[in-house]
């Protein structure tokens, strides 16, 4: 299996730019870059998301790129 782990900006151990969190709005832009990369490289993309990641996913263009998703909050 290939796994891509993504830490949203200003969350967890990622770089903090001082802007704080945006409950998915800015986070969706970063997530979209990762999702586009995975969709081009892999035939099947499965997603596990939680907390603020749910907002990022819901505001991104994921429907044609993700085969299955687990949402945990």
pLDDT digits (tens, 9 = 90+) for 60-70: 999 999 999 99
27-32: long-range contacts at Cβ-Cβ below 8 A with a sequence spacing of 24 or more?
Answer: 27/52, 27/53, 27/55, 27/56, 27/59, 28/55, 28/56, 28/57, 28/58, 28/59, 28/60, 30/6, 30/56, 31/6, 31/56, 31/57, 31/60, 32/60, 32/61
* Average pLDDT value for residue range 35-46: 96
Is pLDDT above 80 for 43?
A: yes
pLDDT at 53 (0 to 100)? 84
pTM for the whole structure: 0.79
Whose structure tokens read 């998301």? 49
* Position 12 confidence tier, pLDDT thresholds 50, 70, 90: low
pLDDT of residue 36: 96
């Amino acid at each position: 299996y290939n796994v891509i782990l993504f830490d949203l900006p200003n969350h967890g151990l990622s770089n903090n730019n001082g802007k704080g969190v945006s409950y998915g709005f800015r986070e969706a832009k970063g997530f979209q870059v990762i999702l586009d990369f995975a969709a081009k490289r892999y035939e099947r993309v499965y997603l596990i998301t939680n907390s603020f990641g749910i907002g990022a996913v819901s505001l991104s263009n994921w429907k044609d790129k993700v085969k299955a998703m687990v949402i945990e909050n």
